[in-house]
Amino acid sequence: MQLNHYLNFKGNTEAAFNFYKSVFGGEFLFVMRYSDVPTQEGQSPLSEADRQKIMHISLPINEHTVLMASDISEQFCAQTNKAFTVGTNHYISINLDASEQDEAKRLFDALAVNGTVEMALSPTFWGALYGALTDQFGIQWMINCQLETA
């Protein structure tokens, strides 16, 4: 299991991560834009500007830590009924591999007790079990159990 910080930005993730890359060095491990997301039936189309925003980016800081982030759109805020607020725009991300699916489910269920589930732990288009929640103390968590290579 690996714990990492996951940051949310309001449209400037790419600029922020180019800055962090200049500070910490290294190369981006992964960059996905919203234009890479498969469109679901009944889903409102994103504007071209939103399609170019970052859905996920990761920058290894050292052998144990990866800084990750995404842009949060107004559409996401409306869907989750959650406003973007600078200062609380981060999650603790727990990353597990395919052999740890039971542990991913256990951790998600345990952290969700008396909390609020933002997205239930379920399979995703990027080949993982993923879920997000806010625990009973107001801490935001993401669980990502990679089942296959993205």
For residue range 88-140, what is the model confidence (pLDDT) as tens digits?
678 899 999 999 999 999 999 999 999 999 999 999 999 999 999 998 878 88
In what helix (H) or strand (E) does residue 40 lie, and over which residues does it extend? none
DSSP-assigned beta bridge partners for residue 81:
none
Q: How far apart are the C-alpha atoms of 34 and 39, rounded to whole Å?
A: 10
Q: Which of 30, 57, 82 is the last residue of a domain?
A: 82
71 and 113 fall within a common domain = no
Q: In what order do the strands lie in the sheet with 54-60?
A: 30-33, 54-60, 66-71, 2-9, 90-97, 140-146, 128-134, 116-123
pLDDT band at 45 (very low <50, low <70, confident <90, very high): confident
Residue at 48 is within a domain: yes
For residue 79, give every residue at least 6 positions away whose Cβ sits within 8 Å of its Cβ, in sequence order, or none: none
Report the predicted TM-score, pTM, of the whole model to 2 decimal places: 0.72
Q: Which domain holds residue 97?
A: 89-150
| Residues 94 and 73 grouped into a single domain | no
Look at residue 3 and give its three-state secondary structure.
strand
At 49-75, the pLDDT tens digits run 888 999 999 999 888 889 999 998 766
Number of separate domains in the chain: 2
The pLDDT of residue 80: 62
Task: Give phi and psi for 24, each to the nearest 5.
Answer: -95, -20
Cα–Cα distance list, 34 to 57, 72, 73, 141 (Å): 11, 10, 10, 21
Same domain for 98 and 73, yes or no, is: no
- Rounded Cα distance between 83 and 80, Å, is 8
Judgement on whether residues 72 and 22 belong to the same structural domain of the protein:
yes
Please report the DSSP string for 58-94 in residue order: EEE-SSS-EEEEEE--HHHHHHHT----TTS-EEEEE
Q: For residue 111, give the 3-state DSSP assignment.
A: helix
Q: Which residue has the higher pLDDT, 55 or 87?
A: 55
Q: Is 107 within a domain?
A: yes
Domain boundary among 82, 115, 133: 82
**Distance between CA 30 and CA 118 in Å, rounded?**
24
In a domain, residue 1? The reply is: no
